[in-house]
Amino acid sequence: MIFFLSFILFLIGLYCVLIKKNLLKMVMGIVIMEYSVSLFLILLGYKKGGFPPIVTAGVEGTNFVDPLPQALVITAIVISIASLALIISLCMRIYQKYKTFDITKIRKLKG
């Protein structure tokens, strides 16, 4: 059930990308989709009653949550911020040239 809630978050982002006409709103849809995917992967690795995967003296030996999705989600988060910087710089260039974020007006090609 909680998986389906994170999937609803993904659908909201997809709707925003497909329907909205504002360029920055579409970028926000992409960011929402990234949030939902990282949330979903961390949810997949959660173990009931588990501890964070750090070996200390007081913690039982094997009762950890899954460390593999956490490590790969860290990688995905850092990549998402880099791609967000690239997307936003393209959006700023487009705004300087066309003075608008409306994608129906950006469509016409200007040299």
Partner 1 sequence: MFELYSLVILMIVGSLVAIHTKYLLSAVISLSLVGLILCVVFLYLQAPDTAITQTIVEVIALVILIRAVPIKKDTMGIKGAKETFSAIVTTIFLVLFAFFAYKALLDLPQFGFPLMTVSEGYIRDGLVKTGSANIVTAVLLDFRAYDTLGEATVLFTAILGAIVVLRKVGRK
- Contacting partner 1 within 46-85 (CB under 8 A): 46-48, 50-56, 62, 64-68, 70-75, 77-85
Q: How far is the CB of 110 from partner 1 (least distance, A)?
A: 16
Select from 15, 34, 10, 44 the least CA-distant residue to 82.
Answer: 34
Q: How far is the CB of 108 from partner 1 (least distance, A)?
A: 14
At residue 82, the 3 state secondary structure works out as helix
Task: Count interface residues toward partner 1 (CB under 8 A).
Answer: 76
Q: In this complex, which beta carbon is closest to partner 1, that of residue 54 or of residue 109? A: 54
Question: What's the number of CA atoms in the CB half-sphere (13 Å) around residue 13?
Answer: 17
Strand partners, 88: none
Per-residue binding letters, 9-38, with partner 1 (x by CB under 8 A): x-xxxxxx-xxxxx-xx-xxx-xx--x--x
CA 56 to chain CA centroid, nearest Å: 32
Contact call for residue 109 and partner 1 (CB under 8 A): no
Strand partners, 22: 102
Contact call for residue 106 and partner 1 (CB under 8 A): no
CB atoms within 10 A of CB 44: 12
Q: How far is the CB of 98 from partner 1 (least distance, A)?
A: 12
